[in-house]
Amino acid sequence: MQTPVNPFKKALQEKRTQVGLWCSLLGPLNTEICAAAGFDWLLLDGEHTPNDPMNLFHQAQAIAGYPGVHAVARVPMGHGYVGQALIKQYLDVGIQTILVPMVDTPEQARELVRCMRYPPEGIRGMAATRASGWGRNANYAKEANREVCLLVQVETREGVRNLDAIANTEGIDGVFIGPSDISAAFGHVGDPWHPEMQKLHEDAFRRIQAAGKAAGILTLDETLAKKHVEMGATFIAVGTDSNLMVKSTSALVSKFKGTPQAAPKGNY
């Protein structure tokens, strides 16, 4: 067996824009429906959902049946022993790309890099898991460090202050700007696209790109999404499965009951 090349990581290194979708409905059936649509990547969310490693494993299996679509998983937290254990479990089920929320300092970023890698570069525990073909890939532990991809979220005032140091951390592949949390941190709760926030996003993108790293963001607004691509977003989520269902079901019921529901705002 061979260690699979991480196509998402390769695309980021080559600055090829990757268009994705947030998956929050736990799958695997809805996740497979989304995979069949042809997105470049699907984000399996473990932060704001009750997703567990087994459920993420089943969703990753469904995505694997659709070449060209890459599974990215977000851990609920990345710090401390709990975060270390979750990152290890996500990697061991065969998910190569991890997104970590609320990264505020370069020290946290460096520790996350260590959690993603086997010794001597890191502290990932050795085991014969699905990622290594249950031990059939004898070279996996020697090659995995090359193919794992670490994305970190900057979404607080402290994170913005430390953005340059975080982005310049060796082993960080991309920095994701969390618009909803950043807007709340800067006093614009529920208004992630406030003009002040849009200026902050532009500045953040420039700083990330200056460090030679990929910039990412999530927006449900098509016009803004295209603007973010023009700004240099290398990985961008342009919708969420839950929001698509909310909008479609509300629109359908309004056609028959005449009671239109308010359209959801923000990123959820």
Phi and psi torsions of 79, nearest 5°:
-110, 150
Query: Given the structure tokens 């087994």, which residue do they identify?
Result: 54
The per-residue pLDDT of the chain, averaged, comes to: 95
pLDDT digits (tens, 9 = 90+) for 210-238: 999 999 999 999 999 999 999 999 999 99
Q: How far apart are CA 43 and CA 59, in angstroms?
A: 10
The whole-angstrom separation of Cα 59 and Cα 65 is 10
CATH number of 7-257: 3.20.20.60
Take residue 104 and report the two structure tokens written for it: 């505020």
What's the pTM value of the predicted model, to 2 decimals? 0.95
The pLDDT tens digits of the residues spanning 96-119 come to 999 999 999 999 999 999 999 999
* pLDDT band at residue 168 using 50, 70 and 90 as cut-offs: very high
* Contact yes or no for 112/176 (Cβ under 8 A): no
Where do the domains of the chain lie? 7-257
Specify burial of residue 20 (Cβ count, 10 A radius: 0-12, 13-18, 19+). Answer: buried
Q: What is the pLDDT of residues 189-207, one digit of tens each?
A: 999 999 999 999 999 999 9
pLDDT in tens, 140-160: 999 999 999 999 999 999 999
Contact of 226 with 218, CB cutoff 8 Å: no
Asked if 186 contacts 200 with a C-beta cutoff of 8 angstroms, the reply is: yes
- pLDDT bracket for residue 265 (50, 70, 90): low
Residues acting as catalytic residues: 48
Is the pLDDT reported for residue 8 higher than 70?
yes
For residues 33, 248, 242 and 173, what is the CA-based torsion angle, rounded to 10 degrees?
70
What is the distance between the alpha carbons of residues 96 and 144, in angstroms, rounded to a whole number?
A: 9
Q: What are phi and psi of 67, to 5 degrees?
A: -55, 140
Q: For residue 268, what pLDDT is reported? A: 44
